[in-house]
Amino acid sequence: MVVNIRNVLLINLVELYAQCIINPSGVTMTFTCPNGVLMEDIDVYSLDDAYLETIEKVQVVGIGGRGPLTSIPINICRFKQLKHLDLSNNHINDVSFHFFFRCLSQLQTLDLHNNFIDEIPISWISEMISLKSINLSQNKISSIPNNMFYNISNIEIFDVSSNSLTTFELWLIQIKDLIDYSNNRITHFTNEKNVDLSNYQSEITTKIFFNNTGTKIDFDDGIFEMYNRCGEINSMYTQYLMKTIQKIHEMNPNLLNWNCSCKYYHLQKYMISIDSNKNLSSWNCPFEHVIDYDKKCQCQSSFNSESVKLCQIKDWELDTDFPLNCSTLESISSIMYKELISMNLTNETMIVKFVDRIDRFDKKLYELNISQLITPLLRTDLQNITTIIENLLESIKIPVEITNNSIAILSLPKKSSTYSYSQTKLINSSFTYSKNQTIENVTTSITIHQNSIENLSEIDIYIIYYLPSSLFSYAQNDQHKIIVSPIVGIHLPKPFPYSITMTFTHVKDLYGRYSCEFWQTDHWNNTGCSYSKGVKPNQHTCICNHTTSFALIFIPDWPIYEAYIPSIIIASLSIVCFCISIILSIHRQVTSFRILSIVNIFSLINSMILFILLTVILIRGYQLSDRTLQANDKCSKSQENLSMTMYFFLILTFASKTLLGVCYFITIFFHFIFIQYTSISNKLIYTSFILIILIALIPTIVIVNQSSNLFLQYDGICWFDSKVIFPYISIPFLIFIGLNFLIIIAITVRLFQFICGPKTAQTNEKRMIISVMIWLSLCISLGIAWIVGPFLNIIITENNRSSTIVLQWIFAFFIGLEGVWVLIINAIFYSNQKVNRKNHQTIFNKINKSDS
């Protein structure tokens, strides 16, 4: 009976609405309509509600094209048990549908793909409490509202591919199985409606597709702040978003662009660490295709993986203190480059900022550990920075005078009639600048011919500037050239036929020559410049026929690193010889106790430690003298500590040698009557040891408590600045050398007295041999080379430089082989003692034999 009623109703429906055909099939009802038919509703008014309530799936299709619907059918709510609604491939553009409460409450799948929808029908979709799948692909949707689902955790499939979306809302990860954003031009992750995911603890979507987007998505820590996930990086609190990013990257290779700002460095490192498939390691920076991200940013994240919250990541600027472990020049050069490239020096405020940035950059360069490797890529970056600085200076079109310690910019119009600009270094190492040509104590000055200014127009601006040399020192390709002046430059808007004159003050260095050169992109060039000695002491004059950035360059005749290998070999040989000498002396001390032996062993140990430290410094210098390293005057902290330790043992060695000389003098003075080891001598010798240790320790402590910048470095060797050498090294050395020289003279006099005095022939011969041996031992252990060497510089002139170099090599040879000379003397003493002991034993045996 029911079947008959259904058939009658369907026949009537076909007669009344011949445009669409209703095809029932079990619990499915399909409306098939011809092309050209448009309607807002489907006619089910003549159908019985009891029958409609049995339908679980409704589909409206067109014949050979799109279906007829232009909006959501109003009477769709009559299908109270409807679970699947397919209105795809229609003409729907109006989704303003109003229906009563719980309409379509059983609906599980909604397919609206391939329509003309530009806005998601949130008002009624959000009421579908059983919805599991929704297909909105191939429409014109540009945004996803956060409240479109009644319960997003029930959603299994969400397809919005081929729409007009440009952002991806990460709160969608609550969907279970599939999110498809393919064929959308997605560029960012967003959270426009401030969805709070702070309590979300469930699994994330199984599959997330972004196929054929034609774009890349920038990824940074902003996603954590967007979704209130600013927890600690290793906590479960944040890992859901981490896993989301990882899954997106794994399923959509080459989609994500890593934000190459160093503020996200540790976030990227963490993402890579949790990536078991190593997919994240292939991320590239969008604008820096050839970049060593680790070297650039390894110290710049403001958080670590243990305690700091993700959203506290901040961008590093030059006025921000870098972490203590920050030693990469790559990082600050990247920051500097980005800041400079965005500058436009059109007003005084921007010029002040420009000067401030250069000053901060220079200070950072000075603070960094300059023993790091300067890679070709990094050097190129620094060269680019010098080019930008010069271009920005030339772009100044307003009159200003701005100074900031070692930086000065003076831009003037023609009418100013200023032809000279000078730099003066004050006692506190700061600088002042003056346009007065008659000022005293000028360290650097630049002067331009008056006619060059007269050729300018009234509106022209010419610029004179001073820059610190650190940046150019790092950037230059030829590291043999040493910049010994500030960078001074001039820019004229028109060519000029006259020369520029510059004067520099610099104390003359040995074994090299000076040159006036200009900066040319990546190197210094002396074309068009001439050098001459100034009229005043330590003054140098340069004359150039063009405008740019200039400096006084010192070029050593021979670099230190050429002497590293032979010096290391000689010093190592001495260390071995010192060790053997110590062993021989200890053996002698065991067989025949003498105070002299104790002092000798103490002196040998100090000398050996001194040579070990010297060898370490030479090895480090050799390692750092590679031409890819920066020649700079800044020592690292470890180098400074090593130099301070060597200074202590240097003073201690000289003091112990002096004590040894005193013991030798006492020995010879008393004709080899060695003082026996008594309680008095025991106290005396150890008091002497404490005294000489204090003599070495006190100046070391005083130096440590001095102000900073006490050290200089060249070719990897770090040693004291000249202001420290004279009071703390030269004066103590002269005192010790003077004492040792007097001791040698006294011993020599006493030796002659001993030779000329009355004595038996046998005693005379024996004591004469031992006296000469002691005298030679004293001269060698005190070091004749140590005494002569410091005075070699006094006789240096331009005419006898070659002979002086030979003398200094001889000086270095004798010093380096001091251990060898000491070993020879100790070996002779040891052999002599062994022979004496054997003779004594022979005599003793004869006496015993005769007695028996």
**Average pLDDT in the 324-340 region?**
65
Say what percent of the chain tops pLDDT 90. 18
Pairing of strands 84-86, 109-111: parallel
Facing residues of 539 across strands?
A: 505
Mean pLDDT comparison of 23-27, 282-286, 514-518, highest-scoring range: 514-518
pLDDT band at 737 (very low <50, low <70, confident <90, very high): confident
pLDDT of residue 781 exceeding 60: no
Q: What is the pTM of this model?
A: 0.47
pLDDT of residue 632 exceeding 50: no
| Each residue's pLDDT tens digit, 527-575 | 999 999 888 878 899 999 888 999 999 887 655 555 667 777 777 887 8
Relative orientation angle of helices 637-669 and 761-782, to the nearest 10 degrees: 160
pLDDT band at 777 (very low <50, low <70, confident <90, very high): low
**DSSP-assigned letters across all residues of 350-375:** HHHHHHHHHHHHHHHHHHS-TTSB--
Helix (H) or strand (E) holding 122: helix 122-125
| Each residue's pLDDT tens digit, 199-229 | 676 788 899 999 998 887 777 666 676 676 6
Facing residues of 234 across strands?
A: none
Residue 276: what pLDDT?
Answer: 62
Mean pLDDT across the chain: 75
Residue 136: what pLDDT?
Answer: 94
**DSSP-assigned letters across all residues of 144-158:** --TT--S-GGG--EE
Lowest mean pLDDT segment, chosen from 28-42, 328-342, 382-396: 328-342
pLDDT of residue 755 exceeding 80: no
**Average pLDDT in the 399-428 region?**
88
**DSSP-assigned letters across all residues of 465-482:** EEE-SHHHHHH-S-TT-E
Q: For residues 787 and 32, what is the distance between their CA atoms, to the nearest angstrom?
A: 113
Residue 100: what pLDDT?
Answer: 62
Q: CB–CB of 266/308 below 8 Å?
A: no
Residue 614: what pLDDT?
Answer: 82
pLDDT of residue 97 exceeding 90: no
- Residue span(s) of the chain under CATH 3.80.10.10 come to 29-274
- CA 575, 580, 582: angle at the middle one, nearest 5? 95
| Each residue's pLDDT tens digit, 226-253 | 676 666 555 565 667 777 887 888 888 7
Please give the residue that has the higher pLDDT: either 685 or 669: 685
**How is residue 309 annotated by DSSP?**
B
Q: For residues 245 and 256, what is the distance between their CA atoms, to the nearest angstrom?
A: 9
Please give the residue that has the higher pLDDT: either 828 or 184: 184
| Each residue's pLDDT tens digit, 347-369 | 999 999 899 889 888 887 776 65
Surface-to-core class of residue 121, CB atoms within 10 Å of its CB (0-12 exposed, 13-18 middle, 19+ buried): buried
| Buried/exposed 359-376: b ≥16 CB within 10 Å, e otherwise | bbbbebbeebebbbebee
Please give the residue that has the higher pLDDT: either 621 or 502: 502
Closest CA to 378 of 415, 324, 418, 328: 328
Pure H helices in 548-678: 564-591, 595-624, 637-669
Mean pLDDT comparison of 118-122, 267-271, 659-663, 790-794, highest-scoring range: 118-122
Pure H helices in 327-434: 329-341, 348-367, 376-394
Domain topology for 29-274: 3.80.10
pLDDT band at 296 (very low <50, low <70, confident <90, very high): low
Q: For residues 115 and 664, what is the distance between their CA atoms, to the nearest angstrom?
A: 109
pLDDT of residue 316 exceeding 50: no
Residue 40: what pLDDT?
Answer: 84
Amino acid at 696: A
| Residue located via tokens 């190197």 | 523
Q: CB–CB of 722/510 below 8 Å?
A: no
Say what percent of the chain tops pLDDT 70. 67
| Each residue's pLDDT tens digit, 589-616 | 665 556 667 887 888 888 888 888 888 8
pLDDT of residue 409 exceeding 90: yes
Q: CB–CB of 435/418 below 8 Å?
A: yes
pLDDT of residue 1 exceeding 60: no
- Please state, as a whole number, how many other Cβ atoms lie within 10 Å of the Cβ of residue 281: 10
Sheet holding 133-135, edge to edge: 21-25, 28-33, 57-62, 84-86, 109-111, 133-135, 157-159, 178-180, 207-209
Residue 526: what pLDDT?
Answer: 92
- Residue span(s) of the chain under CATH 1.20.1070.10 come to 566-842
pLDDT of residue 22 exceeding 60: yes
Residue 804's alpha-carbon distances to 573, 715, 792, 810, in angstroms, are 25, 22, 7, 10
Q: CB–CB of 716/624 below 8 Å?
A: yes
Please give the residue that has the higher pLDDT: either 446 or 638: 446
Domain topology for 566-842: Rhopdopsin 7-helix transmembrane proteins (1.20.1070)
- Please state, as a whole number, how many other Cβ atoms lie within 10 Å of the Cβ of residue 427: 5
**Average pLDDT in the 740-765 region?**
66
Residue 423: what pLDDT?
Answer: 92
